[in-house]
Amino acid sequence: MSRFADGQDATELYRQAVCALRELCRVEGPGQAMRASAQVLSTPMWRAFTEDYSVSRGVPCALRLVQHCQHDPGDQCEPPGSDHSSLLLRNRRPDTFVTQPYSLDGTTLRQMLDYADEHGLKVSISGISPHFPGKTLLVMMHRNTD
């Protein structure tokens, strides 16, 4: 049935969902099937991801991880290449800056890493992102405590 579920995971409901997505893909194209899948997955993935955090209201500022920021023009609150950004709080304190760009070319990735180095942040990147699963990357920045 699938390359992504073994026999135990492929329940009848799973098979029906796969068949529905295949039919949507056939009739309306892969983009529409991907959007439908993302529509279902995005909110529960974000909830699971942020389970241990609260999300800051206001400007999603990476600089708040290392300093106070007034968010004035030129403050560079977000690294180059940022899109769909959030600042996650743990115990009401800035803990993790998250951005979910659709892509990062080599130049933008270097600029993002330079920004992190300049501000003493460590970076991790994952292909599993809750914003638009399957289309966006998940970039996380934390204080460098090493």
Same-domain check for residues 91 and 21: no
**What's the CA gap between 49 and 64, in Å, rounded?**
20
5 band by pLDDT with thresholds 50, 70 and 90: low
Considering the domain architecture, whether residues 36 and 84 belong to the same structural domain is answered as no
Contact in structure between 135 and 34 (CB atoms under 8 Å): yes
How high is the pLDDT of residue 52? Answer: 80
Across 72-88, average pLDDT: 89
Confidence band of 72 (pLDDT split at 50, 70, 90): confident
Question: Two tokens at 82?
Answer: 């940022």
Residues 6+ apart with CB under 8 A from 90: 52, 53, 54, 96
Q: Tell me how many domains the chain contains.
A: 2
pLDDT-derived band at 2, boundaries 50, 70, 90: low
Distance in angstroms (rounded) separating the CA atoms of residues 97 and 72: 18
Task: Tell whether 122 and 78 lie within a shared domain.
Answer: yes
64 and 94 fall within a common domain: yes
- Residue 25 reports pLDDT greater than 70: yes
Give a yes or no: residue 6 inside a domain.
no
Say what the pLDDT of residue 145 is. Answer: 76
For residues 63 and 131, membership in a common domain is answered with: yes
Whether residue 2 lies inside any domain: the answer is: no
The Cα–Cα gap between 125 and 109 comes to: 10
Edge-to-edge strand ranges of the sheet holding 121-126: 54-55, 86-90, 93-99, 138-143, 121-126
Tell me what pLDDT residue 15 has: 87
Q: What is the pLDDT of residue 7?
A: 63
pLDDT at 39: 94
What is the pTM (predicted TM-score) of this model? Answer: 0.86
* Residue 133 forms part of a structural domain: yes
Average model confidence (pLDDT) across the chain: 89
Non-local (6+) Cβ contacts of 115 within 8 A are 62, 76, 79, 80, 121
Q: Residue 64 is part of which domain span?
A: 54-143
The yes-or-no verdict on residue 1 having pLDDT over 70 is no
CB 66 within 8 A of CB 121: yes
